[in-house]
Amino acid sequence: MTNVEKRFKELFEKVGEEVLTLGEAQECLACLWDYTLERTKSLGLGKFYPTVQRTPNRLAKVEDVWWVDHFTAGISSKSTLNWFSSNKCRKGKVAGASTHFVMDYTGDPYYIVKLSDGAWHEPKRNADSVAIEMVNPGPLTFDKAASKWRFWAREMPAELIQTFPPVFLDKPYRGATIFQPFSKNQIVANLKLKRIVIAAFPGRFALCRMSQHTDWREGKKDMGPLWPFQDVNEAAFSNDPIPELAFIQRYDPDFLDSVGTIADVDETNNPEYGVNTPTHDDDPDPEPKLMSIAEVQQALDRKGFAIASDGKFGPKTQVAVKSFQMTWNKNHTEQLKVDGIPGPRTCACLKL
């Protein structure tokens, strides 16, 4: 174990019990960056990292930063890192997508785009958000003829099905009825990482700006109904020791080491990442543009939800958006998700 890896793991363990100081949080991220570069080399991706799939200094001066949770729609950290590497550059032009963090089943994080830079993960939030991709295939199907479980790309490994049995939903979630759950290690590590980033950039994150991909794209399913979205984000802004949190204690035992071999699977051609391409800032967004926060506030004010137009998304704006969404739902058959986030559907309704 190198000194960088050792120090990162010390601080990553510590944040589970107590809040890190500003210096400790920044040191932890610096160590994670170097530790990630060590591991990308061991995966044969060293020459492609640090990735060029980023917008330099895009977030450096953003005061109100969003957070967006994604899942990879895949089962391998290696394939995810390959997709998010500069290996996807073709003929001098950058193509593909990227993220700030990748989280493996084991809860081992990778830090691949500096937090001062913009990642290419969701056109509507690339300009002001941090992104994480949690390794998880998402929706599953069962092939009765072959008696095999599958995700969009291929058959699911039997050991992964045994470790995390598929969960059947009472009601379809965006057309899907069966999902693979996340590992307890992933949930804990996601929470730890959020606490570290929040401590490293004091005042720039807020609970009302913690979101997931479903908030920004109607066709997306990540993070899905099995992700404890509210519990994790509320805990990220608390000081309670993570092992003592009730929702953490309810989860199954930690991820089994035997499944670690899945990281060797190389899904280099993962079309799921290209479903909504182009995904980065330099390309035109095929979907309607979101309104700016100032435009949202002005529209809310016009519709009777008094709010100052300061261009900043804070708790008062979130409450006003929620009020608008609830009022809309009372008067229209087409319902909005009442989450206080001015996503594409809410913005479209605000413009009417």
Q: Which of the residue ranges 79-93, 184-198, 263-277, 278-292 has the most confident prediction, judged by mean pLDDT?
A: 184-198
* Burial of residue 93, with CB atoms counted within 10 A of its CB: 0-12 exposed, 13-18 middle, 19 or more buried: exposed
The tens digit of pLDDT for each residue in 285-337 reads 445 557 888 899 999 999 999 888 888 888 888 889 999 999 999 999 989 88
Is residue 345 helix, strand or coil?
A: helix
pLDDT tens for each residue of 240-285: 999 999 999 888 654 444 444 444 444 444 444 444 433 444 444 4
> Would you give the distance in Å from CA 272 to the centre of its chain?
15
Distance between CA 76 and CA 22 in Å, rounded? 32
CA distance 40 to 81: 8
pTM above 0.85, yes or no: yes
Out of 3.40.140.10, 3.40.50.1370, 3.40.80.10, 3.40.50.300, the CATH code matching 3-142+149-156+165-274 is: 3.40.80.10
Query: Where are the domains positioned within the chain?
Result: 3-142+149-156+165-274, 293-350
Look at residue 179 and tell me whether its pLDDT is greater than 90. yes
- Phi-psi label, residue 80: left if phi above 0, alpha if psi -120 to 50, beta otherwise: alpha
Sequential DSSP letters for 109-147: EEE-S-TTSBPSS-TTTTTTEEEEEE-B--B-EEETTTT
| Alpha-carbon distances, residue 34 vs 8, 112, 126 (angstroms) | 9, 10, 24
Q: Helix (H, G, I), strand (E, B), or coil: what is residue 19?
A: coil
The rounded distance, in Å, linking the Cα atoms of 43 and 55 is 25
Among residues 68, 215, 191, 59, which one has the least CA distance to residue 127? 59
